[in-house]
Structure 1
Amino acid sequence: MSAPAAPAPGAPVVELDLAELRDDPYPAYAELRRTAPLAWVPSVGRHLLTRYEDIVRAEKLPEVFSSREEGSLLLRTVGPNLLREDDPVHRRLRAAAEPPTRPRQVRDLWAASFERTAHQLLDRLEDRGEADLIADFAEPLAAANLALVLGLRTASAHDIADWSRAMMAANGNYADEPDIWLRAERATRAIEDAVAEAVDAVTDTPDGSVISSMVHAADPVSPTEIQNNVKVVIGGGVNEPRDVFGVGAWALLRRPEVLERVLKDPAVWKRVFEETARWISPIGMYPRQLAQDHEIAGVTLPAGSRVALVIASGNRDESVFERADEFDPDRPHRPHLAFGGGPHFCMGAWVARHEVSAIAWPLVFSRLKGLRLAENTPDRLDGWVFRGLTSLNVTWQTP
């Protein structure tokens, strides 16, 4: 399957500046949805598919929109992995890795430890009266929880967070910056060493972790497959819960009337989570490659064509979500695309939902009294392939 680095016949060509997309991609996405829902973007080297209904359609056709993209940035970063495989290989790897991340296992195996870690982090912060809740809380919480679920016994939360940042930067390195590739190579070598130690530990003593599940899978998984798929999980497993936590907390602190209602009814935290994931999709797009000729959004794409499913755009599609650019946890429910769909629905979705909506947000807002955004330290949203706050500077009343 060749991959022509050119627009499909009849596809509009739209020039987009990557720096502008990083700053705020949503105006460009709105224009694409309106005028060119499938467009070739030279700076990205692929067609962007931006309307909700077209993205959903593509996700339901994995035999056409293949995950096995030639030259994928993710493949270059971590090697062959379940996100860049189609069935039956994808099904085998997912069946081996997924059991520890299912809702019941999250509740029974991991929830108590997640809560204990959150309390420990808040114990260190409570007397300070100020913090960056991304660097000081959300990222170390997500990283520590991920190390536990994966079974990486010798990796610290700091290690996991560093590795995740390095690999996610490489996965979005469309500008091909050499320093980013170098950082990613160092991170992946360190992960391979940590996984090898974990495999040795659970071979005779299973511990319920993802690595343990893969080691003892009924359908064998090779050591290299375990290493590569742990790399993939470390990427999304940190940035998704970290960024949903940060953006959701930031949005609530800017809308105190909504925060007051949530605090009176903790059941609303779940709606806040889903709305935050829709409003600012932590993973904004992912690539596919056409396995056969196919017409979509008025354009016939030849086999081999590269496409990006821009789920951040689909989640702002005004034909599906009324007032789509607004943060509104009370909006009527419509399924968002933030965790993907079809066979590749995010394996860690239930972990993220529980650690953020059931633990992190309720504890932060209950323990840090009078929590408010810090003055004169504006927080900035950044990114388009992956998007979140670079910081969340807050103050509160000390005990």
Structure 2
Amino acid sequence: MTLETTTARPAPTADWVTLADLHTDPFPIYRRMRDEAPVHWVPDVGRYMVTSYESCHLIENDQETFSANETGSLMKRAMGHSMLRKDDPEHDVDRKSYGSVLRPKAIKETWNAIFERNSEAFLARLQAAGPGADLISEYAAPYAAENLRLIMGFHNASQEDMQRWSQTMINGTGNYADDPDVWAASKKSYDEVDDAIDEVLPYLLRNPDGSLLSGLASMPIPLEAIRANMKMTIGGGLNEPRDVIGVAVWALLGNPAQLEQVKADQARFAVAFEEAVRWVAPIGMYPRETTRDTVLEGIRLPQGARLGVVIGAANRDPKVFADPDRFDINREKKPHLAFGGGNHFCAGTWVARASVAGVALPRLFNTLPNLRLDPSRQAVDAGWVFRGMTALPVTWDQ
């Protein structure tokens, strides 16, 4: 037994944490937990929650000790056994099957033009809805969904299908309350996605294009792996850009001086994007499982411990980010963890940056004069496993 093991202490129990409070506003909870210890056992969640930047960063880069292939994974149940719940070398095989579809060259040559076209179409929809419309339902969500539909190659589905599939399966992935209605809706989408994939793959073999499914159609990849990875992509590939658009707009409209800076130098929309995902990480928590007895920042963890790597807390760690609860595009640049790290660094990062910072945000603010929050209706942010704006009523000058 090493000195480190003998001097380590057990994780404190945070029996005061409830799922309801986490859903409403997790950040005060994270602050208290992080101040007390980097790791807590949380009975209501049924896992150890890791809240410090140092610990989350360490976990991301040590798959031998902290496995993504969690036992009893909610994500496996909701979406199948995707690459996100695999370690290398299995993870690397799945990841490489995506080829270059999501990389900067393809974005520049193919997808940026599609992002521009979709932004124009859904901005027109937002304008038609008129001042007081919900930015999320009229612009951010359908824009993210239609972009993803085309990138993935679902020629037999609509953006509305993509939204329904994404939200219900994400709800399953975060169903820590084990709500049977959530599981039923998630299972329905699970089956619909499988059917859509089975239908479209033969079409794409005959009519190849630059989409993800087109590339996978001709590869020796097991069908179950394709299905699981496509479900995972529908989840993260839609909710991340949708939620970053909502949070960034909400933050900029709440900080007029910073908004003027960005409008005066539109290259700074990229800075606003990075600050938005730091401030409110769209994927706020993901699981890991220990493969052996270990010690994490002085906290003893047994083999088989189920962890929650709380990126939403790590990105507000005051040891790394000054005044971390404040949205500030002028803060000192430091790496956040919103897109994960190590071998699981988010494959859709370049798409999210291009579609949101490069197109959605500048087009929105350049098109709608004096865009502002609607004072007559409440903006609502919610969630902790996944967090974003569930309502963002806006108005503008006509």
Structure 1-normalised TM-score? 0.95
**1:335 alignment partner AA:** P
- Distance, in Å, in 1 between the alignment partners of 2:379 and 2:99 is 35
1:180 aligns with 2:182: yes
Find the residue that maps to 2:335 and give its secondary structure.
coil
Partner of 2:144: 142
- Distance, in Å, in 2 between the alignment partners of 1:212 and 1:192 is 15
1:288 aligns with 2:283: no
Partner of 2:88: 87
Q: Is the 8 A contact 2:125 2:138 kept in 1?
A: no
Q: Shift of the alpha carbon at 1:291?
A: 1.1
Q: Shift of the alpha carbon at 1:155?
A: 0.9
1:201 aligns with 2:203: yes
Q: Is the 8 A contact 1:126 1:367 kept in 2?
A: no
Partner of 1:169: 171
Q: Is the 8 A contact 1:372 1:394 kept in 2?
A: yes
Partner of 2:336: 336
Q: Which runs of 5+ in 1 are unaligned?
A: 1-7
Find the residue that maps to 1:101 and give its secondary structure.
coil
Runs of 4+ in 1 over 4 A off after TM superposition: none
Q: Shift of the alpha carbon at 1:347?
A: 1.0
**2:362 alignment partner AA:** P
**2:240 alignment partner AA:** E
Partner of 1:67: 68
Find the residue that maps to 1:99 and give its secondary structure.
coil
Q: Is the 8 A contact 2:295 2:301 kept in 1?
A: yes
- Distance, in Å, in 2 between the alignment partners of 1:360 and 1:286 is 27
- Distance, in Å, in 1 between the alignment partners of 2:333 and 2:218 is 39
**1:124 alignment partner AA:** R
Partner of 1:358: 358
Find the residue that maps to 1:339 and give its secondary structure.
coil
Partner of 1:151: 153
353-362 or 99-108: which moved more? 99-108
Find the residue that maps to 1:288 and give its secondary structure.
strand
- Distance, in Å, in 1 between the alignment partners of 2:282 and 2:10 is 32
Find the residue that maps to 2:133 and give its secondary structure.
strand
Find the residue that maps to 1:13 and give its secondary structure.
coil
What is the aligned counterpart of 2:132 among 122, 130, 133? Answer: 130
Q: Shift of the alpha carbon at 1:98?
A: 4.5
- Distance, in Å, in 2 between the alignment partners of 1:212 and 1:91 is 20
Find the residue that maps to 1:70 and give its secondary structure.
coil
Q: Which runs of 5+ in 2 are unaligned?
A: 1-7
Partner of 1:212: 214
Partner of 1:3: none
Q: Residue by residue, what CA displacement relative to the aligned partner does 1:13-43 show, whole Å, maximum 9, x if unpaired?
A: 1111111111111111111111121111001
Partner of 2:36: 35
Partner of 1:103: 104
- Distance, in Å, in 1 between the alignment partners of 2:210 and 2:235 is 21
Structure 2-normalised TM-score? 0.96
Q: Is the 8 A contact 2:78 2:186 kept in 1?
A: yes
Aligned-residue RMSD, C-alpha: 1.2
Q: How many residues align?
A: 389
Q: Shift of the alpha carbon at 1:396?
A: 1.1
139-148 or 113-122: which moved more? 113-122
Q: Residue by residue, what CA displacement relative to the aligned partner does 1:185-222 show, whole Å, maximum 9, x if unpaired?
A: 110111111111221112233212111222234xx211
- Distance, in Å, in 1 between the alignment partners of 2:135 and 2:126 is 10
- Distance, in Å, in 1 between the alignment partners of 2:207 and 2:240 is 30
The alignment-based identity, stated in percent, is: 44
187-196 or 8-17: which moved more? 8-17
Find the residue that maps to 2:49 and give its secondary structure.
strand
Q: Is the 8 A contact 1:79 1:228 kept in 2?
A: yes
